[in-house]
Amino acid sequence: MKKQRFKWSNLYLIAVFIILYAPIFYLILYSFNAGGDMTSFSGATWDNYRAVFEDVRLITIVLNTLLIALLSSLIATIIGTFGALAIYYTKKRQARNALLSLNNILMVSPDVIIGASFLILFTFIGFSLGFASVLLSHIAFSIPIVVLMVLPKLKEMNDSMLMAARDLGANNWQVLSKIVLPSITPGILAGFFMAFTYSLDDFAVTFFVTGNGFTTLAVEIYSRARQGVSLEINALSALMFIFALMLVIGYYFVQQHNLSKKQKSKKRYGTEAVNIR
């Protein structure tokens, strides 16, 4: 019986996770601190969480942030899905590579540059800064994320199914709704969740395009942190961390459900093929 050798890669992985998650758990721990600061833990209390739910302005900002993230991710998912389809079915290779390069520019460009560009654009056309400007900006930088999530699923799709559907008389809408969209649904869901989380915690772009009377959670936390450490922000950050964790768990179960459906369909087709023989 062979002994399992110690792998330094596992130690490295553990160290990386400790470095990443230790500050988050430190923040969550002091969200229960009754002392009012982060210098010493003087006892556990729920007062900081109670203060979060009693702060009407902060709750309104959280709802605005969730609304912006939900709307922008939904719209970006629709546009990005059809954008990925357009890139995939572009026949000329040079044109397809050019479209992909244009899509990737927003992914690699610094958020400060994107935010400043949107600010200049909105100022130039006389568009007032507020809810609409933040929503449009979030849609714009979320579309490339969706495109990159959907394209790999399009490449994995079996093109023979499309040819068979057209041979059987299916029109373009039937091919799209019955074959293409079900095949790329995991990529669409991945794009939606990525766009949602990216919009939820965006600061740099939102900081440039937000106006008086409207703000998001990231900008509000930044402005409050400049005034001093508040354990109310710790409590709110802990709640948002739990919310993000629930999203990840939900996405995991969706992926597992899709995987089990694929396995069941493959097993059913295999059984039917054996019966035919």
Q: What does the pLDDT average to over 206-222?
A: 84
What does the pLDDT read at residue 230?
75
Close Cβ partners of 129 (under 8 Å, ≥ 6 residues apart): 119, 122, 209, 210, 211, 212
Distance, in Å, from the CA atom of 187 to the CA atom of 77, rounded to the nearest integer, reads 10
Distance, in Å, from the CA atom of 99 to the CA atom of 144, rounded to the nearest integer, reads 11
Distance, in Å, from the CA atom of 73 to the CA atom of 135, rounded to the nearest integer, reads 10
* pLDDT tens-digit readout, 103-148: 888 888 888 888 899 999 999 898 888 888 999 999 999 999 999 9
What does the pLDDT read at residue 4?
59
Give me the chain's average pLDDT, please.
Answer: 82
* pLDDT tens-digit readout, 52-84: 888 888 888 888 999 999 999 999 999 999 999
User: Chain centroid to CA 64: how far?
Assistant: 17
Distance, in Å, from the CA atom of 195 to the CA atom of 150, rounded to the nearest integer, reads 12
State yes or no: pLDDT of 268 exceeds 70. no
What does the pLDDT read at residue 107?
81
Q: What does the pLDDT average to over 96-100?
A: 85
Q: 189, 191, 166: which is closest to 179 by C-alpha?
A: 166
| Token pair of 55 as six digits | 């702060």
Distance, in Å, from the CA atom of 51 to the CA atom of 218, rounded to the nearest integer, reads 18
**What is the percent of the chain with per-residue pLDDT over 90, rounded to a whole number?**
11
